[in-house]
Amino acid sequence: MNIKPKQMHFSELEQSHSDWQQRYDTQIGQNKTIENRSGLEVKPLYSPLDWDSNQYTQDIGFPGEAPYTRGIYPTMHRGRTWTQRQLIGLGRPQDYNKRVIAMLKAGASAISLIPCNSGFRGIDCDEVPVPLLGTCGTVINTTHHMTDSLKDVNYENISTALNDPSPFTLFAFLLAAAKRRGIPISQISGTSNQSDYISHCVANHMFFRLSLSGGRRVLLDHIEYCAKHVPKWNPVSVVGQHMQQAGATPAEAMAFTLSTAIQFAEDCIARGMDPDDFLPRFTFFFDISISFFEEVAKFRAGRKIWTRLARDRFGAKDPRSWRFKFHGQTSGADLTMQQPLNNIARVGVQAMAGIFGGLQSLHTDSYDEAITTPSEETAKIAIATQNILREEAHLCDVIDPLGGSYYVEKMTNQMEEEIVAIIERIDKAGGMYAAVEAGIVQRDIGLSAMRFQDKLESGEQPLVGVNCYKGEDSWASPPSYRPDKVKMQKFVDDFLQFKSSRDQSSVDKALDNLAHAAKSDNENTFEKVVEAAQAEVTHGEIIACLRREMGAGEPVIIA
Amino acid sequence: MTDNNFTYPPRVLVTKIGLDGHDRGSRIVAAYLRDAGMEVIYTPPWQAIDAVVNLALQEDIDVIGLSSLATDHLIAPDLMESLSKADLGHIKVIIGGIIPANEHAMLENAGISQIFEPGAGREEIVESVSRLAAAARGGKQQFEEVSL
């Protein structure tokens, strides 16, 4: 080993370490090997022997300085804490509106909209059994639905995340609604969250609408459109969250996400775009599990790798292109239906991992996440958890407070090696699209999910209230959210009425233009989606039109 | 595998109806049943009810396992009705996933044989499916004798 700390002679250090090791081995008895979720061995102790502090400048550096291991901004959470962005979606637009206003009053600083599952599937509310409408997201099929959902919300001043990938109809509805309100679209800020089509193809299979190639084309059109017309909007959020929720390890989720980002960036470059024109608007979205130190290391490693990719692989020169900006969501897969109030403690630990990981934006799950769409009360506890962590716990006093921990630095390096190795494997398979089409990513995620499940079954991974500490008390189950069926039926009836009262010729024209753009090689399809939204064309009509032109996708499922 | 005497392994259809795509659980359950020696037919999510009924008929299914993580179980009674109309009432249907306690009775009344909540283990699932498959075979035989 060639590490030579200045204050202590190396031989002395090695001798002390060996003395400790002997005492440890004598006293520990049965010494079992511990691995983190990514399969990396975790030792009982880390010391200067594990970390070459001479590498500090090159490998770690200072916040706001490449490779951004300690954070992407010089001031990090000392200057500005993270955006408190709660994912909200329920019922009808007016139900969403009521909840959003309550959450903003409770401390949320940005909004996020999740559509109804019918919207995920690319169909309108009139094509779905009423009991399934609005149970897990808000039904938004038209521009006027968007207008209703954002009534009295100053979205010209706060950022909006729309969880809606290709063809980004919700974003088109937002732009049309803004125009009607007289807000210049150049003022609109926010993110096309979950804009990453690949993540939907390999995990969870939500938002599954167009063929992979169709989704790819519209994504690029949308990136170009935003750069030109909506410069404050982040058109890309590359998503690792779905993959980790579906079972990918933290290292796999980070690697697959970066491999996806490589593909998107290289697609943009192939279109002739300058990396420094689009990379500053790339964002990422990750799951934060309860494997605390591993998650912190995952995010620190992710920043380092992205810096090198942006700078060295894509040739970006502007440091803004190198900064790895991410939103984190506490992991719902770690939460339990059993003893649901315990989830508040889990979410607190997950959120801290994200904060120490240096996130820019955070969603904390409600304690009833494993059971239902949150109630207003449980959603307020989730935002209060963020308020407490930010205001009371002194977590933001010091930037990257775990940096310099022998363990965290060593684990950051190990995670980095693991992630880079997976990225290289995907590169060899021909990139993320080819790997997904061959089912490689799906298989890896499935195997990791099974390995974790086996650990839960055997009790090797304890889960309080599920495989240990089950107790005998009966815990009250939070009520499940079910929209009022009568009101929902009326909403569908109103929608049908609205459709028949539209100016059909402008609807037909907008759809013709959209189909024409999809057929052509050089027209911007997203521009036509925006025009369609202005002409009152519905979500389902826009997607049906693009499906005809670009094909519908089927997931590749590897059991 | 089980105490039941099968001349051929239980035939199980693992599927999702409705709108949701989360399939981590259904893939794991499908693997459990396959590892236990059963014949498992696995479909992508979002199956139409008619498609499930047709598949169950063509594949001579004993047990249908539905996965529901986002309220799709609310239309499970429609599947039960369609199975019965197609003279497939002998098929046993089970549901696994997020099923709130206050909706269990509705599903049981519609004829759902068993509900598995998060935390259900491999052994419990395999044992139940095996027992239900035997019951479905018995029911089918009886039905065919009556029909003849």
Q: pLDDT 10s per residue in chain B (148 long)?
A: 445 667 889 999 999 999 999 999 999 999 999 999 999 999 999 999 999 999 999 999 999 999 999 999 999 999 999 999 999 999 999 999 999 999 999 999 999 999 999 999 999 999 999 999 999 998 887 766 665 5
Are A184 and A133 in contact by the 8 Å Cβ rule? The answer is: no
Give the residue among A36, A79, A42 at the shortest CA–CA distance from A406.
Answer: A42
Among B19, B44, B122, beta carbon nearest to A121? B19
Chain B residue with minimum CA distance to A455: B121
More confident residue, A58 or A252: A252
Q: What's the CA gap between A362 and A352, in Å, rounded?
A: 10
* pLDDT for the residue A473: 85
Min Cα separation A128/chain B (Å): 9
Smallest Cβ distance to A132: which of B44, B74, B119?
Answer: B74
Mean pLDDT of A45-73: 93
What is the 8-class DSSP label of residue A138?
B
Phi-psi region of A465 (alpha: psi -120 to 50; beta: other; left: phi over 0): left
What pLDDT, on the 0 to 100 scale, is given for residue A54? 82
Judged by CB atoms closer than 8 Å, whether chains meet at B31 and A559 is answered as yes
pLDDT digits (tens, 9 = 90+) for A386-443: 999 999 999 999 999 999 999 999 999 999 999 999 999 999 999 999 999 999 999 9
Cβ of A557 and B121 within 8 Å?
no
Residues of A in contact with B31 (CB under 8 A): 450, 559
Q: With beta carbons under 8 A apart, name residues in chain B contacting A205.
A: 21-23, 44-46
Exposure letters B14-34 (e unless 16+ CB within 10 A, then b)? bbbbbbbbbbbbbbbbbbbbb
Around Cβ A140, how many Cβ atoms within 10 Å? 29
pLDDT score recorded for residue A29: 83
Q: What percent of chain A has pLDDT over 70?
A: 98
pLDDT (tens digit, 9 = 90+) per residue, A219-274? Answer: 999 999 999 999 999 999 999 999 999 999 999 999 999 999 999 999 999 999 99
| Alpha carbons A549 and B101: distance in angstroms, whole number | 44
Q: What are A375's two structure tokens?
A: 């109630």
Which residue type, as a one-letter code, is found at position A502? R
Determine whether the interchain pair A559/B100 forms a contact, defined as Cβ–Cβ distance below 8 Å: no
Q: What is the pLDDT of residue A55?
A: 85
What integer pLDDT is reported at residue A455 of this predicted model? Answer: 96
CB pair distance less than 8 Å for B21 and A204: yes
Is residue A107 predicted with pLDDT exceeding 70?
yes
Tell me the residues of B at the A interface, defined by beta carbons under 8 Å apart. 18-24, 27-28, 30-31, 34, 42, 44-46, 70-72, 74-75, 78, 98, 100-103, 117-119, 121-122
Helix (H, G, I), strand (E, B) or coil at A198: helix
- pLDDT confidence of residue B147: 58
Tell me which of B14, B16, B23 to substitute to probe the interface with A (most A C-beta atoms closer than 10 Å).
B23
SS (H, E, C) A234-299: ECEEEECHHHHHCCCCHHHHHHHHHHHHHHHHHHHHHCCCCHHHHHHHEEEEEEECCCHHHHHHHH
Confidence of residue A2 (pLDDT cuts 50, 70, 90): low
Q: Which residues on A lie below 8 Å from B106 (Cβ)?
A: none
d(CA A307, CA B101): 49
pLDDT on residue B143? 66
Residue A558 has pLDDT above 80, yes or no: no
Residue (of A221, A123, A226, A143) closest to A542 by Cα position: A123
- Mean of pLDDT values over A450-478: 93
Query: What does each C-alpha distance from A70 to A76, A363, A398, A410 come to in angstroms?
Result: 9, 21, 11, 14
Taking any CB pair shorter than 8 Å as contact, residues of chain A touching chain B are 117-118, 120-121, 128-129, 131-132, 135-136, 200, 204-206, 208, 245-247, 333, 336-338, 370-372, 446, 449-450, 453, 457, 466-467, 477, 479-480, 482, 554-555, 557, 559
Mutation site for B-interface testing, chosen from A205, A442, A556 by largest number of B Cβ within 10 Å: A205
If you measure CA to CA, which chain B residue comes closest to A123? B19
The per-residue pLDDT for range A338-372, each reduced to its tens digit, is 999 999 999 999 999 999 999 999 999 999 999 99
A394 phi and psi angles, rounded to 5 deg: 60, 35
Report whether pLDDT(A9) > 90: no
Q: Which residue among B34, B44, B101 places its CB closest to the CB of A555?
A: B44
- Whole-model pTM: value is 0.95
* Confidence (pLDDT) at B8: 87
In B, which residues are within 8 Å of A467 by CB distance? 119
For residue A138, give both structure tokens: 């808000």
Residue A174 has pLDDT above 60, yes or no: yes
Task: Check CB contact under 8 Å for A337 and B19.
Answer: no
**pLDDT at position A472, please?**
86
pLDDT digits (tens, 9 = 90+) for A279-338: 999 999 999 999 999 999 999 999 999 999 999 999 999 999 999 999 999 999 999 999
Between CA A429 and CA B132 the distance in angstroms is 43
CB A283 within 8 A of CB A234: yes
Give pLDDT, residue A4.
54
Inform me whether the pLDDT recorded for A142 exceeds 80: yes
d(CA A310, CA A543) in angstroms, rounded, equals 33
Q: Which residues of A touch B17 (CB under 8 A)?
A: none
- Confidence class for position A3, pLDDT limits 50, 70, 90: low
| Beta carbons of A195 and A236 less than 8 angstroms apart | yes
Q: How many CA atoms lie within 13 A of A448 on its CB side?
A: 22
Look at residue A293 in the predicted model and tell me its pLDDT. 98
CA dihedral A251, A253, A259, A264 (to 10 degrees): -150
pLDDT, averaged across chain A: 95
**Quick one: pLDDT at residue A258?**
98
